[in-house]
Structure 1
């Protein structure tokens, strides 16, 4: 967890304002949910490993004896917890407020979440998530809207060249079935497959083989998986579409899944192009048959945002059609895309708005307060941001600090001075 200094805070807010502006332009509405949710909801088995990283809140009124008695029962110790993502709270929000929401609801949710992570570069225990979600639409239109809005936001931030890696949990499950992995094996197998980009194909197959031997299961599925990874492949490039998808999967991929992915690509292509050239535009999507994403609530399409400047993802999401039904008692289709704001903000160079001047008034010690406030109020009325600073012996250091804080101009104020002379800050 970190303190955010003024200059960094201003930069973060500028990035957030761009993201918020683009999402609003795409028809999403911003909501807010509490940072605290019920313990049972946060530990309902849908948050994957994040449930193990949640911060729980001790029940009120427990004395030392009661705490000792309940030491081995987290649910007895805690009835509330800090949210570890924004998706679980959103599902509860929708179930609680559905009567006041449109049939297809497009939500923006931006706020802090907490996980008991091991801190490292780009990974914190408190961090901001920027989510957009669509509830009530089970068609490919929902995924396409999310991807177009997200790519629009990254373009507006100056991160040209962003792409979306996409897969479908149904395709993954079908592929593991083709290889011969039993249903009860698959959650553990997917955890290992998710390491492909870290330990490579040899490392993954070795770990899967070791796992099969340790569990006493057949290594036949591992052999089939390894043979698929080592199959001969041509280096020809295919744009995102049915050919690219089927070429990346074993023969006989489910038509329903492939068609859903193709329709997403067609919609994104149409949105990213204009006029008759739409069909000729290359879609910024890449089918990745081994994209897993670890959250247990994903039921269909899954995706991650990639940028050529970094090796890690800048966000991700997927379809979670089964989650809202847990709270509502009625199934509602839902899909969401979350930007990893802490990683994103480090890549973005968001400059202050040049149309709104930021001015430092450097005044002598003997200037009357009323005179200072009058000068300041006059500039503010004209649309400027103004800070008062008493002149110091080291004026250069004062101005450098002001420039670092985002101020663009300064003026010196002496007692009885008339009109101020504004000078630019380097």
Structure 2
């Protein structure tokens, strides 16, 4: 007999859980739209070649692929050593690759600067564990067609506003630039062929510390002189006092030799975010010269969303100016920010009750169906959410269940009851 459990790494949601998730999603959508973004929808599947074009980083290895239709046993055996010959489609592992394809397909119908919302599930063949699922929701906003710091600032301001609307004030955004990282590695003397592996190790800095990173770099066979230079940079004297986010702070955190235009872009992001928060002396940005983010398609600014209540990122994103060009043959500037929905939904304390009344009508067994349906229709027409429940011996259990499902009031219904005679009582 087949298992009745959901597939590993995937979940069922009971009504109360679903209502809570939808309430959080409604707030996210409303805040995103308030900042001028428009929601789109893309298919859950994309072509295999597109999902495995070398732009999805490690996520490409986690893609669920779809077997070609009509393959017989001989065709499967003949293609056993070449997975791409067995599959032509795959489930999307993020929303950025589908967005790039969407823009390339529909750009004639889109504005010059396009601000998109995508809120949808994605699938990755992860090893299931706490907080890591094979199907999960992503909430993305992206701006395509704007190469200026304004785009990053709009994304950051919208994302911080959304968290504040979810009562998660106090969030900050760690920010860096992949161009600054590349310039740093060049200054230290890491040859280009070593840099992908070096970045993987540097990304562990907050977990294993400077000594651990240096040791791992040497184990990887990285240039000894470059590792020495990197160590010396980490051991340089710290600034005498913390600096606010700005050009001085950014330059102090970087070695000499990082291009001025990179520093200017990062500074412009901070100035624009600050302009959106008049009267706030603290800009919620933190420059982190060793923030890496692993996606291979990032070309410029990268950022992660942090909150003091948790020790992990609540979202992130970056600029991916080269991705759309793979479909169009010409580069189009693009930058995106994704909120980690599955991570924040359990932190949010929003009430899931509907704004409209939600009423349970508890009726006796002998009440005619026609009377019940007519009474329910009357309440629904008034704007209420209504559920019919036959009275049980354990009335408290029935009402507790209704309350857990988001209902706020109840009334008992006997034969001949009228709308005017209903006494609505709160479910507390």
Q: Deviations over 1:325-345 (max 9, x none)?
A: 000111110000011110011
Compute the displacement of 1:235 (Å). 5.0
Compute the displacement of 1:53 (Å). 0.2
Distance across 1 between alignment mates of 2:427 and 2:215: 60
Q: Aligned to 2:224, which of 215, 219, 231?
A: 219
**1:403 corresponding residue in structure 2:** 403
**2:283 corresponding residue in structure 1:** 283
**1:357 corresponding residue in structure 2:** 357
Compute the displacement of 1:268 (Å). 0.5
**1:43 corresponding residue in structure 2:** 52
Counting only pairs closer than 5 Å after superposition, residues 179-194 of structure 1 correspond to structure 2 as 179-194=188-203
**1:259 corresponding residue in structure 2:** 264
Compute the displacement of 1:281 (Å). 2.5
Secondary structure, aligned partner of 1:372: helix
* 1:423 maps to 2:418: no
Compute the displacement of 1:44 (Å). 0.3
Distance across 2 between alignment mates of 1:230 and 1:401: 60
Distance across 1 between alignment mates of 2:240 and 2:136: 40
**Structure 2-normalised TM-score?**
0.96
Distance across 2 between alignment mates of 1:423 and 1:235: 63
Compute the displacement of 1:152 (Å). 0.7
Q: Aligned to 2:210, which of 201, 218, 221?
A: 201
**Structure 1-normalised TM-score?**
0.96
Secondary structure, aligned partner of 2:173: strand
Counting only pairs closer than 5 Å after superposition, residues 6-85 of structure 1 correspond to structure 2 as 6-85=15-94
Compute the displacement of 1:251 (Å). 2.6
**1:380 corresponding residue in structure 2:** 380
Compute the displacement of 1:253 (Å). 2.8
Greater CA drift, 141-150 or 371-380 = 371-380
Distance across 1 between alignment mates of 2:310 and 2:355: 32
Secondary structure, aligned partner of 1:352: coil
Distance across 2 between alignment mates of 1:59 and 1:291: 40
**1:125 corresponding residue in structure 2:** 134
* 1:106 maps to 2:111: no
Distance across 2 between alignment mates of 1:417 and 1:112: 45
Counting only pairs closer than 5 Å after superposition, residues 129-208 of structure 1 correspond to structure 2 as 129-208=138-217
Unaligned runs of 5+ in 2: 1-9
Unaligned runs of 5+ in 1: none
**2:292 corresponding residue in structure 1:** 292
Compute the displacement of 1:123 (Å). 1.2
CA contact (8 A) 2:353 2:408 kept: no
* 1:231 maps to 2:240: no
Q: Deviations over 1:215-246 (max 9, x none)?
A: xx531111111121122213511111011111
Compute the displacement of 1:252 (Å). 3.7
* 1:244 maps to 2:255: no
CA contact (8 A) 2:353 2:407 kept: no
Distance across 2 between alignment mates of 1:64 and 1:411: 63
Secondary structure, aligned partner of 1:347: coil
Greater CA drift, 332-341 or 347-356 = 347-356
Secondary structure, aligned partner of 2:324: helix
Compute the displacement of 1:354 (Å). 5.9
Whichever structure has more helix as a proportion of its residues is 1
Matched positions, count: 417
Compute the displacement of 1:353 (Å). 4.6
CA contact (8 A) 2:176 2:289 kept: yes
Distance across 1 between alignment mates of 2:406 and 2:100: 39
Compute the displacement of 1:260 (Å). 0.4
Secondary structure, aligned partner of 1:132: strand
Distance across 2 between alignment mates of 1:351 and 1:201: 44
Compute the displacement of 1:383 (Å). 1.1
Secondary structure, aligned partner of 1:50: helix
Distance across 2 between alignment mates of 1:44 and 1:252: 33
**1:315 corresponding residue in structure 2:** 315
Compute the displacement of 1:22 (Å). 0.7
**2:3 corresponding residue in structure 1:** none
Compute the displacement of 1:200 (Å). 1.8
* 1:325 maps to 2:334: no
Distance across 1 between alignment mates of 2:223 and 2:115: 46
> What is the Cα-based RMSD across aligned positions, in Å?
1.1
Distance across 1 between alignment mates of 2:52 and 2:292: 21
Secondary structure, aligned partner of 2:272: helix
Superposition misfits of 4+ residues, deviation over 2 angstroms: 352-355
Compute the displacement of 1:73 (Å). 0.5
Q: Deviations over 1:234-285 (max 9, x none)?
A: 3511111011111111134321011101111010011122xxx4xx632100
